[in-house]
Amino acid sequence: MADPISILGTAGAVVGIVDLLAKTIRRVSELRAQWKIVDAVVATFELQLIALNTALTQIKEWTNTNTDDPHYQLSIDLDHCLSHCQLLVGIISTEIETLTAAEGDQSIASKICFLFRTQGIAEVQKMIDHVTGALTLLLTACNRFVVFPTLVLQHRMSHY
């Protein structure tokens, strides 16, 4: 089982990632509106960030409400996934802030469209999908460790 310190560390890491991701999503949305970018690739990227944020928020809620210790392997896997997620969100945030710094340059609107069409953004989008999928699977596994024993206990009690 995971120790309480590890669970608190995981919860803290999730909060930090969610905060940074929320700022990044807001900034992408602002840039899109400001430059009147109507581009499916940019909109899809924004939606992927929102999906990742939702998965992380669910992980945060799970760590806040789960009173039982998760299986140690789940805790290790979750920490590993969160480390990768933190790195990915940091890279995305840095790229968006770089665009924000050059905001006064009108040609930056064309640069952002170019950026989102490059191979690099395609790779980032794949990574976001993979991380979101991994977080979803981990959350499902975590919920199984919480819900399944409760169902077994309820089943046993109903047969007495």
**Residue 95: domain span:** 4-158
Amino acid, single-letter form, for residue 102: A
27: CATH? 1.20.1410
Tens digit of pLDDT for each residue in 48-101?
A: 899 889 888 888 887 777 656 666 777 788 888 888 889 989 988 888 887 766
Query: What is the distance between the alpha carbons of residues 32 and 43, in angstroms, rounded to a whole number?
Result: 8
Tens digit of pLDDT for each residue in 10-34?
A: 667 888 999 999 999 998 888 778 7
pTM > 0.75: yes or no: no
Amino acid, single-letter form, for residue 89: V
CB 152 within 8 A of CB 75: no
Q: Which CA distances in Å does 49 have to 42, 85, 93, 116, 147? A: 11, 11, 11, 14, 28
Query: What is the distance between the alpha carbons of residues 160 and 156, in angstroms, rounded to a whole number?
Result: 7
Q: How many domains does the chain have?
A: 1
Q: What percent of the chain has pLDDT over 70?
A: 63
Decide: helix, strand or coil at residue 154. Answer: helix
Decide: helix, strand or coil at residue 25. Answer: helix
What is the full DSSP assignment across 90-143?
HHHHHHHHHHHHTTT-TTHHHHHHHHHHSHHHHHHHHHHHHHHHHHHHHHHHHH
What residues have CB less than 8 Å from 84, skipping those under 6 apart? Answer: 131
